[in-house]
Amino acid sequence: MLHGDMGPGVRKGMEIVVALGRIYGARRLAPVRSVQVAGVSYRNLGEAGLAFLSEWADQGARVRVPTTLNPAGMDLQAWRALGFSETFARRQRAVIEAFERLGARTTCTCTPYLIGHVPGVGEHVAWAESSAVSYVNSVLGARTNREGGPSALAAAITGRTAAYGLHLDENRIATLRVDVRCPVHALSDFGALGYLVGKAAQNRVPYFVGLDAPDDSWITALKALGAAMAASGAVALYHVAGITPEARSTDVLVPEHETLVVDDLQPAYVALNAASVSKHQRAIDLVWFGCPHASLAEIAGVVRRLDGRRVKSALWITAARDVREQAEAEGLLQAIEACGGRIVADMCAVVAPMQELGFRTLATPSAKGATYIPSHAGLLVRYGTVEQCVEAAVTGVWPLR
Ligand code: F3S
């Protein structure tokens, strides 16, 4: 591959894999079973990124393992109804077409593990989306570093990744024990905890002790926890005592670890909410669920809490297209739409041109969403429980506690 026997596109892929291996001191390559590529929104890629992808496809590069994509900057089918411009839609479609030519499955989601891409314990993969990386390492016990867009694609094209970092046993041991001494039950509590721990841990591996059963499933709770830690810090792997596959015994924690005690989530709720609460700014334009992309159970939870009430603000639940289709089959899509909400597929509000769609204020129970929306999408954010967000959607204003 490196000598170009399999064409210039494959050679370019292997050059990237080998260069990363040299930088990080890898001693061998590992075969990867699947790849998840980030950097899909035209808003982030721009013309330079689009040209890079197109050129790689022109060079004959094709993925050789199952490869899915991160969310794009718009719903690939309903973009017009959502208010996206023709210009943005044309460019975003060109990006998707370039990925199609490279052989990727153009399923655009940050939760591929909810639609059948479920790597096994110890399996090597190359995933790029930070929340998915955290989930696949921690909850599924597979192994990936936090890949960049080009390096994930290089792994897909060569079927290999350099075996360093979290591919190796010795780097999967926790160095930070987190003692949770306050109630953590709601989805937004898990996000708040993740926000605090991510800031303290940075790229260390935390080991959680003292977590009780969440209100929602562990899948939903851990997806929120990991996404938040990857956003406020750079945590790509964590363990939860007695829950995650590599935390069946305390061997996973180094003896000389540090300990972080968390006994109050309020600082996170304060930090994730915009400071100003003037009457004008309590108005909510959009309530956003599904960051990371929602499961069927999360959609059902929003339907249950809406209880047939019509919304005053816009309400979006972002999800993988397959999950949207399942929601339709189960009548959940119809229930959301009857209340005036939408299940939006393929996209993420953080990488979409949200201001161009006319939104200024957004409420979400996602700590990752609340961390990134102000800086990436330029909207003012309210962060709270799913119940608060549903109330905000129904009344059009952020409920004061
Ligand atoms: Fe997914 Fe976007 Fe949130 S990629 S995790 S919906 S910020």
Using a 6 Å cutoff on CB, does residue 17 contact ligand 1? Answer: no
- Structural domain boundaries in the chain: 8-169, 173-269, 273-395
| Token pair of 146 as six digits | 């936090």
Q: 110 CB under 6 A from ligand 1?
A: yes
pLDDT score at 95: 98
The CB of 392 under 6 Å from ligand 1? The reply is no
| The one-letter amino acid at 212 | D
The pair of structure tokens assigned to 379 is 């909207």
Nearest CA owner, ligand 1 atom 6: 291
pLDDT for the residue numbered 275: 74
273-395: in CATH 3.30.499.10: yes
Residue 372 CB less than 6 A away from ligand 1 = yes
Beta strands in 147-305 (DSSP E): 160-162, 174-180, 206-209, 239-240, 253-262, 286-289
Give the C-alpha separation, 83 to 285, whole Å.
Answer: 14
Task: Give the nearest ligand 1 atom to 132 CA.
Answer: 5
CB 131 less than 6 A from any atom of ligand 1: yes
Strand boundaries in 181-319, DSSP class E: 206-209, 239-240, 253-262, 286-289, 314-319
- Distance (Å) from CA 261 to ligand 1 centroid: 28
Residues in the chain: 401
CB of 291 within 6 A of ligand 1: the answer is: yes
Residue 123 pLDDT: 98
Determine the distance separating the centroid of ligand 1 and the alpha carbon of 148, expressed in angstroms. Answer: 15
Does residue 150 have its Cβ closer than 6 Å to ligand 1?
no
Global pTM? 0.96
pLDDT tens across the length of the chain (401 residues): 999 999 999 999 999 999 999 999 999 999 999 999 999 999 999 999 999 999 999 999 999 999 999 999 999 999 999 999 999 999 999 999 999 999 999 999 999 999 999 999 999 999 999 999 999 999 999 999 999 999 999 999 999 999 999 999 999 999 999 999 999 999 999 999 999 999 999 999 999 999 988 998 999 999 999 999 999 999 999 999 999 999 977 689 999 999 999 999 999 999 999 876 565 568 999 999 999 999 999 999 999 999 999 999 999 999 999 999 999 999 999 999 999 999 999 999 999 999 999 999 999 999 999 999 999 999 999 999 999 999 999 999 999 76
- Taking the CA of residue 366 as reference, the ligand 1 atom at the shortest distance is 3
Cα–Cα distance list, 250 to 103, 175, 254 (Å): 42, 11, 8
DSSP letters for 90-158: HHHHHHHHHHHHTT-EEEE-S-GGGTT--PPTT-B-EE--HHHHHHHHHTS--B-----HHHHHHHHHH
What separation in Å is there between the alpha carbon of 296 and the centre of ligand 1? 16
CATH number of the domain at 8-169, out of 3.30.499.10, 3.10.450.40, 3.30.930.10, 1.10.10.10?
3.30.499.10
Distance CA(308)–CA(329), nearest Å, equals: 18
Distance CA 295, CA 278 (A): 34
Ligand 1 within 6 A of 114 CB? no
8 Å CB contact between 261 and 183: no
Pairwise CA distance, residues 375 & 363, whole Å: 15
350 CB under 6 A from ligand 1? yes
Domain pair 8-169 / 273-395, same fold: yes
What's the gap in Å between 251 CA and the centre of ligand 1? 33
